[in-house]
Structure 1
Amino acid sequence: MRKVIWLLLCITGLTFSQNKQVLYGFSEIPQALMLNPGGEIKNDWYFGIPLLSHIHTSVGISGSTVYDVFADDGVDFNTKLRNAIYSMRSNDFFSANQQLEIFSGGFAYGTSYNKNKYISFGMYQEFDFITYFPKDYAILAYEGNQNNINRRFNAGHASGSAEVISVLHVGFNKKVNRTFSFGVRGKIYSNILNLTTTKNKGYFVTEYGENNFYNHIFNLDLELRTSGLASLTDDDTDSEAVAKALKKRALFGGDLGLGFDIGFSHKLSKQWTVDGSLLDIGFISHSKDVENYKIAGNYAFEGANPIFPETGSGQTAEEYWSEIEDEFETLFTVDTTANKYITWRPIKLNASLNYAFGEKRSEECNCLKEDVGYLNAVGLQLYAIKRPKQPQMALTAYYYRRLFKGLRAKATYTVDSYSFSNIGFGLSAHIGAVNFYLMADNFLQYKNVYDAQSVSLQLGFNYIFNKNED
């Protein structure tokens, strides 16, 4: 058990939602093609600096924050804890996502005068975690069951998943004509670690008993499915063996899966553009190192004698609690299996409508320069991701500006599951053929990160040969 805890702490310690609203549509950055394989492309070829081309980390919570409970504001801790428990819903969640691009590249091809096709490729590692607030469990732990006689506590409030995967991908983009382009990206997923418990059902209720003070009734259908965990937590497995196993799985030595992305971009007019994409349409089949734990059935427990026997009986308090523990172990039989299972990827939707304006003029003649695009753009972007209980959605308004040669900026305002005041900002700089970008959101909450509903950071380095130098 200690190894399980250590492993999970290591994973979550590396990470700080998956929405990349600042990066989406930022076509000067090659990684924007990962969000829409049919998007606009502004380079002839590029390669990402290995392990530095795209680093992304984000964390969010849709309910009470750490600050709400632990703030030094003179309010009693128990009061703040109670307020936090009762203000949150069972659909509130905590999520974290981290991506590290291992390598990437892309190149245009076609006729010498019309290179209208583009191949992109690469490999990245991703960690994704979500857990929902187990409200009835929290209330039961806080209040106990003595004051909740005949109340049914929902066992289905326990829900969550965590995974670490590596992804090898190849994409194809074609510019059909001056107004329309489309793209598709194929993916091979390699599972490194997976934990899933999302289909729990049942309840727990306490009633007055006949043979004892209380009768505890359980109607349970709980399951935790794991892949890649059992061998890592074996008592005979040392840290060197763990590292070797993780490396092998990252290089497609684990459970595999297939998936694809699709996307398009269409110019409605010279200034209006609509685009969209569906990402991670696919699955992973888990059959190696699988260990599943399931409790299902109806149980009743009236407990051991709740009044300690007379001192002369010889039974100690330790023996009394051991008796209760033995009763529970006998009552709840955990069924452990190695049945293979399939997990479906969290499908993501992106769609946006954009308006460009502000044509570039020459200082010498006060006339329009050769067609190099517009200096400004505004738009709306819709994002959604499929999650175990319900989809997460976000709506973003943005302003994009080409500041001067080699420097672009984008500001965003997002309404999502976390807050109504998410302001983000991103910069992309080209120094010669080297591109560097840095993006972050929720700037208004950086003054107190403990009270932040979500934070996100993206950065990367690429070497780019551009089609047009303006």
Structure 2
Amino acid sequence: MLYNLTSVPQSLMLNPGADFKYSYYFGVPMLSGFSFKVGSSGFSAYDLFANDGVDFNQKLRKVVNSTTRNDHAAINEQIELLNGGFKLGDWLEDKGYLSFGLYQEFDFWNYVPKDPLVLALYGNQNYIGKSFDLSDISVKAEVLTVLHLGYHKNIADNFIVGARGKIYFSGFNASSTQNSGYILTRPSSTTMYEQIVRSNLTLNTSGVSKYLEDDYNGDTASDVQNQLLFGGDMGLGFDLGFTYYPKKNTQITASILDVGFVKHTKDVANYTYSGIYKYEGINPSFTSTDDPDGVYSDFNEAIKRDTLYNKYTTWRPVKLNASYQYSYGVSKDEDCVCEAGEKPFKNAVGAQLFIMSTPRLPITALTGFYQRNISNKLQLKATYTLDSYSYTNIGLGLSARLGAFNMYFMGDNLLGYRDLSKSQSLSFQFGFNFIFKDSNEPPSRY
């Protein structure tokens, strides 16, 4: 929704090479930008928790049967703590534009562990010879703070480029995405069945383990606050983007965001569950209360649970954006201080492609949009998006100015608001800024 809506300063965060024409701006601290997104492909909350008299286990089985290992649940939240930018040089000597800020982000991603869920729900009786894949287990969560500095410049009348450097401060991280192994039951030539468990499971954590220790006696609230604000693990990243006008009313943009990593070295704990176990017989018991043949102790000896303290690196989810826009209808807004032929267009239509990397397969979204300049103080944007969550995703966005004060509100998948429990995705964002325009500066072409 916010991509390339250049009446809003936060559009620079989605494309550091956006056609942004204001002299300087600053956001209202803690309120300049807030966004929240939640989505689940393949199922909704209603499928699991509907008050329809159907047993939960039955609904869970139905969801598991209807999903694949590539279905997922995701949550993302961002809060801008500080944000600002200003033009370098005057309008006769364009030296580019500098933007900077600080934001906090929470990111969660979990694939449906299809095979382990099938085994847990149905057992192995009807799946003799099937290998239940433990690599289906893939989950990650992180809370971090990002300090950033961006620069963009018109290198030609119709070509703008930009870049943004980022320093990541990871307060908390939990990642289990490189798992492998299987659980297999097959006929045996000597006994009835052979059970094989090959496990290589790892959960990497940083910034978490000290709070789980029995002898922890710190101030949790103070420690968490310090950890989130520059106290966690560090990493580096960058964004790149451009805007190109092949014609005055035609625009092409693209950006790549969050090409970066975090090196986890503080309060690191790696929980592993690795080894190979074989058992010949009918049904081994993996409980310590009933262990006549030493099955439980043999299993624990073969599949070792251990805690290591090795440093590890995580990569940020890389995001790609690209758009094509056609503008038409010259604005007749008399409030615009423009030279002849430089008034912005009133309407624009176009398409945007979004791609994001994930631990397994990239996700994509294709959006068609219509933008309208009601005046130089009020812009509207309507979108229709095809993605992995919905084929009926309609969104609306509003950007308005009152003097130097700017506010924006945007919501996605509006049809889902009729019943949120049945909606597979929800996204909204808003923010408040102060924007100051140089009267000698021509407007962006839209």
SS, match of residue 43 in structure 1:
coil
Deviates more, 1:169-178 or 1:228-237: 228-237
Alignment pair present for 1:349 and 2:290: no
Measured after TM superposition, the shift of residue 76 of structure 1 is 5.9
Partner of 1:15: none
Measured after TM superposition, the shift of residue 340 of structure 1 is 0.7
Amino acid in the other structure paired with 1:132: Y
Amino acid in the other structure paired with 2:224: L
1:397-436 alignment runs, 5 A limit: 397-436=368-407
Which digits, 9 at most, give the CA deviation of each residue in 1:364-399, with x for residues without a partner? xxxx97622101111110110111101011110000
Contact 2:39 2:73 in 1 (8 A): yes
SS, match of residue 36 in structure 1:
coil
Partner of 1:257: 235
1:352-371 alignment runs, 5 A limit: 352-361=323-332, 371=342
Partners of 1:204 and 1:40 lie apart in 2 by 55
Measured after TM superposition, the shift of residue 359 of structure 1 is 0.5
SS, match of residue 232 in structure 1:
helix
CA distance 1:111–1:293, change in 2 (3 Å): same
CA distance 1:272–1:210, change in 2 (3 Å): same
Q: Percent identical across equivalent pairs?
A: 45
CA distance 1:362–1:30, change in 2 (3 Å): closer
Which digits, 9 at most, give the CA deviation of each residue in 1:116-164, with x for residues without a partner? 5110000001111100001111111111122322221111110111111
Partners of 2:18 and 2:330 lie apart in 1 by 21
Partners of 2:303 and 2:415 lie apart in 1 by 49
Which digits, 9 at most, give the CA deviation of each residue in 1:7-26, with x for residues without a partner? xxxxxxxxxxxxxxx10000
Measured after TM superposition, the shift of residue 288 of structure 1 is 1.1
Contact 2:324 2:351 in 1 (8 A): yes
Amino acid in the other structure paired with 1:95: A
Partner of 1:247: 225
Q: TM-score, normalised by structure 2?
A: 0.91
* Paired residues, number: 435
CA distance 1:232–1:75, change in 2 (3 Å): closer
1:2-401 alignment runs, 5 A limit: 22-73=1-52, 77-207=56-186, 215-237=194-216, 241-301=219-279, 319-320=289-290, 326=297, 328-361=299-332, 371-401=342-372
Amino acid in the other structure paired with 2:316: R
Contact 2:275 2:304 in 1 (8 A): no
CA distance 1:359–1:116, change in 2 (3 Å): farther
Contact 2:199 2:303 in 1 (8 A): no
Which digits, 9 at most, give the CA deviation of each residue in 1:207-242, with x for residues without a partner? 45799875421012211111111112222335x623
SS, match of residue 176 in structure 1:
strand
Partners of 1:361 and 1:46 lie apart in 2 by 26
Which digits, 9 at most, give the CA deviation of each residue in 1:309-360, with x for residues without a partner? xxxxxxxx99427976555433421232111111111111011001111112
CA distance 1:172–1:208, change in 2 (3 Å): same
Contact 1:353 1:380 in 2 (8 A): yes
Partners of 1:339 and 1:196 lie apart in 2 by 13
Partners of 1:112 and 1:352 lie apart in 2 by 28
Contact 1:382 1:396 in 2 (8 A): yes
Deviates more, 1:410-419 or 1:289-298: 289-298
Partners of 1:155 and 1:429 lie apart in 2 by 51
Contact 2:192 2:282 in 1 (8 A): no
What RMSD in Å do the two structures reach over aligned CA positions? 2.5
5+ residue gaps, structure 2: none
Measured after TM superposition, the shift of residue 70 of structure 1 is 3.1
Amino acid in the other structure paired with 1:416: D
Which digits, 9 at most, give the CA deviation of each residue in 1:62-121, with x for residues without a partner? 111121233345666554333211110000000010001010100002245244511000
Contact 2:257 2:320 in 1 (8 A): yes
CA distance 1:302–1:229, change in 2 (3 Å): farther
Which digits, 9 at most, give the CA deviation of each residue in 1:193-218, with x for residues without a partner? 11111111111012457998754210
Partners of 1:437 and 1:248 lie apart in 2 by 31
CA distance 1:321–1:259, change in 2 (3 Å): same
